[in-house]
Amino acid sequence: MTNLSEGIIRTIDFNDTGLVRSLYELQRESYLIEAKLINFYEIPPLKETFEEFQACGEQFRGYFLDNQLAGAVSSTVEEETVTICRMVVHPDHFKKGIAQQLLNTLESDMGYVSLFKVATGKDNVPAKNLYAKNGYKHDRDLEVAPDFYISLFQKAVR
């Protein structure tokens, strides 16, 4: 658990169905804003059911303000590589540094790995800026649907 000036970051327990339901709703709100931003509404987290979400197998860290979930980051680890799967912030809390704090905590907690990977919509400028300012290097753009591209980033840490 990490204490921050405004909130607390802690691992989300997927046995807490109420909290997981809140996380599911939060991600839908956040990704709907991204979908509008990048003009692509087929983002996988917008399409998944609650049951699929519960079974995703990712580890989530949540950012809590006054005991309310305001943001989250999820990841998977394979050998010495962390893949950031989701980064979501409630629209009421955009531009407050929550994504930055979540990213900092994830990287700090994963000090034993050698590589971080992340993908975001090619036109998602705020996300791309977050990763670039934190040392993530653009790897390539990948067409994942007709005329829709994601940008892949990597950060080597040792």
Task: Give the model confidence (pLDDT) of 35-56 as tens digits.
Answer: 999 999 999 999 999 999 999 9
**CA-to-CA dists, residue 32 to 37, 85, 109, 152, 155, angstroms:** 9, 16, 29, 20, 27
Least reliable range by pLDDT among 4-13, 34-43, 85-94: 4-13
Reported pTM: 0.92
Q: Is the pLDDT of residue 3 over 80?
A: no
Q: pLDDT of 16-34, one tens digit each? A: 999 999 999 999 999 999 9
Residue 4: the pLDDT is 43
Percentages helix, strand, coil for the chain (3-state, rounded to 5) are 35, 35, 30
